Structure 1
């Protein structure tokens, strides 16, 4: 079965930063990411927690940029 990925990066150089963020979030949550890159054995709850926290961080970064770095 062919793998289809509809997530395309607008800025290709962002991939390394997103991967780094993924590992940081997983470490903070105490979740071990498979070294071989296969996530099929991970619990859905764990992958969802990582993705949710990454999204939360990206939204916070965007809000900070829009407000000029001022936190509320």
Structure 2
């Protein structure tokens, strides 16, 4: 049995990440945020893409140079 792809609108995606919808919208314009899909005028995020983006932002400390942790820190 295959797993169903789950798409979230901006409000739900932002809530899932602990961000405001406005912040997520800003990321869409400026870049650096999670990848998204456009279906007509609707913006949707795959839940798996949100998880991947959040994982890519993991750091060991606030003084990290921006290099994400490898799998060893998990």
Shorter chain as normaliser: what TM range?
0.3 to 0.5
TM-score normalised by structure 2 residue count: 0.35
TM-score normalised by structure 1 residue count: 0.36
